[in-house]
Chain A
Amino acid sequence: MLRCIIVGYGFLGKRLARLLASGAIGDIKLVGVASSKGYIYKEYGLMPGDLPDDLRFLSILKPSPASELIDKRITDLLVELTPTNIRDGEPGLTHIRLALEQGIDVVTANKGPIALAYEELMGLAEKSGAMLLHEATVGGGIPLISLKNRCLAADELLSIKGILNGTTNYILSRMHFEEMTLELALREAQMLGIAERDPTLDLEGVDTALKLVILANSLMNAGKRLSDVKIMGITRITSEAIAAAKGSGMTIKLIGIADEEGLRVAPKLVRLNDPICVHGTLNAVSFNFRILGRLTIIGEGAGESTVSALLNDIYEVVKARSRSNRI
């Protein structure tokens, strides 16, 4: 049995913890869960009943930092799910470093550490022999990273182009179909819980840029940083511009592009019959491979579907460790 801990107890953390505690993946024992208030730990495994919405009222809650749980003696796998911090990647970056240095495998949905310190973290993983899987950082449950690294590893990826942010795609779709202003579409998205109360990172294209850096570094060995991305968000898109695009059989989408000219995020005119022209909160990514040519993949880029990506990464760790007889 692999002993697993989850650090970060928000929407994803709670959903995943309950699934693992219910035995969603054999050979995984959830032994600890940490939130910003402290952590709970049971050597013989946590049960679904040990996992209420708020950990604060549990008698077994230890009001200590999550780093105490990240210890090779008590855990084999860290699932890091603290909120994304684009300034310095903390506290996720410290958690992941601590785990990898000890040879603890890591699965994460946290974009900050992967976008800011990909090379360093992969170096640490290689040195200690640990695995670092991060499918859930980009495109929710769409298997973008595993698609290239497992199914198309021998082909060369020449470029990536896609819609990587569900919030802005929802807003632009509402502007296109309902002729709403950006302000109104944003307010509706906030009421539905699609947009955050502070939507700056989404609207200004920073979230798309972070995901683009992750894809370019992990699939094209681009060695890029967030500061290398030319970013333009959607804040200046007007109803008139959407209507003008519509009149030509097109619409406006926030597109991230990684190719030989570099990395950029900008609103682009997209033909309505283009495979990447998806609407609502959907994401779509078009890869261009040297031999295969163009391959487009579409799916939900956030929410419940991200849990699927996390489960699959955890399953990959279990499979790899059972092959190496570490279970």
Chain B
Amino acid sequence: MRVKLTLALSDRPGVLLKALEQIAVNGGNIISIIHRRDRITSGYVPVSINVEFPDSTSLERAKKGIETSGIPVMEAETLEKAICTILLIGGVKIEELFRRVHELGSRVAEISMTGGLTSPCIKAVIETPSERLNTILKSLEKLAEEQGALLITEG
């Protein structure tokens, strides 16, 4: 899995090396490193590192190791997206669908509704970080249950 780690490095020699060591020992393969010297605040330089980790456990171990070395991890964003199509037969409140998708850091890439009020069917394409796909689908399943609709996912 590809991840963008944003670290707050103190502007001293050798600090970046400590972070890179933690990534390496946990199997991470570094793709790129970007120093944001233009965004130095209170002596900290934000550094974005794109890394390919073998799995989410390795990522979590690396994050823990970096933080134990005294380097704050500001953000760990998964760069791999999952795209899935869903159908909601019976219809649900569309604003509630958007809210649940957004609150999980994902987005509704496409949405359409057919069948009018008598036989409503919503089709939506959801774009989400891969590791959140199951959580999103569970949340939408609950939404469908609450509103008497039937959720159909890709199988």
A interface residues (Cβ-Cβ under 8 A, vs B): 161, 232, 236-241, 243-245, 247-248, 250, 252-253, 255, 257, 266-271
Contacts and interface: CB of A to CB of B under 8 A. Distances in A.
Interface residues of B, number: 18
21 contacts: A161-B155, A236-B89, A238-B119, A238-B121, A239-B119, A240-B119, A240-B120, A241-B87, A241-B121, A241-B152, A244-B112, A244-B114, A245-B87, A245-B152, A248-B85, A248-B125, A252-B152, A267-B152, A268-B152, A270-B154, A271-B154
B115 interface: yes
Nearest to B88: A241
Contact of B114 (A240, A252, A255, A266): A240
Contacts of A248: 85, 123, 125
Given A236-B89, A236-B90, A269 B114 contact: no
B153 interface: yes
Given A241-B121, A247-B123, A269 B89 contact: no
A224 to B, nearest CB: 19
Contacts of B114: 240, 243-244
B150 A269 contact: no
B153 A236 contact: no
A173 to B, nearest CB: 16
Contacts of A241: 87, 89, 121, 152
A219 B114 CA distance: 42
A237 B154 CA distance: 15
B89 A237 contact: yes
Contacts of A238: 89, 115, 119, 121
Nearest to B123: A244
A239 to B, nearest CB: 8
Contact of A244 (B121, B150, B153, B154): B121
A269 B121 contact: no
Most buried by A among B86, B87, B120, B123: B87
Contacts of A253: 155
B115 A269 contact: no
Given A243-B114, A248-B85, 10 more contacts: A238-B115, A240-B115, A240-B121, A244-B121, A244-B123, A247-B123, A253-B155, A255-B155, A257-B155, A268-B154
A269 B112 contact: no
Contacts of B119: 238-240
Contacts of B120: 240
B155 A270 contact: yes
Contacts of B152: 241, 245, 252, 266-269
A267 B153 CA distance: 8
B134 to A, nearest CB: 9
B117 to A, nearest CB: 12
A91 B115 CA distance: 47
Nearest to A244: B123
Contacts of A267: 150, 152
A236 B150 contact: yes
Contacts of A257: 155
B153 A269 contact: yes
Contacts of A244: 87, 112, 114, 121, 123
A239 B118 CA distance: 12
A248 B153 CA distance: 13
A243 B153 CA distance: 15
A158 B120 CA distance: 37
Sort A-B residue pairs by CB-CB distance and give the 5 closest, nearest first.
A268-B155, A240-B115, A240-B121, A244-B123, A269-B154
A237 B149 CA distance: 11
Contacts of B155: 161, 253, 255, 257, 266, 268-270
A244 B91 CA distance: 13
A212 B153 CA distance: 20
Contacts of B150: 232, 236, 267
A245 B125 CA distance: 11
B151 to A, nearest CB: 9
Contacts of B123: 244-245, 247-248
Nearest to B115: A240
Interface string B112-155: 10110001110101000000000000000000000000101111
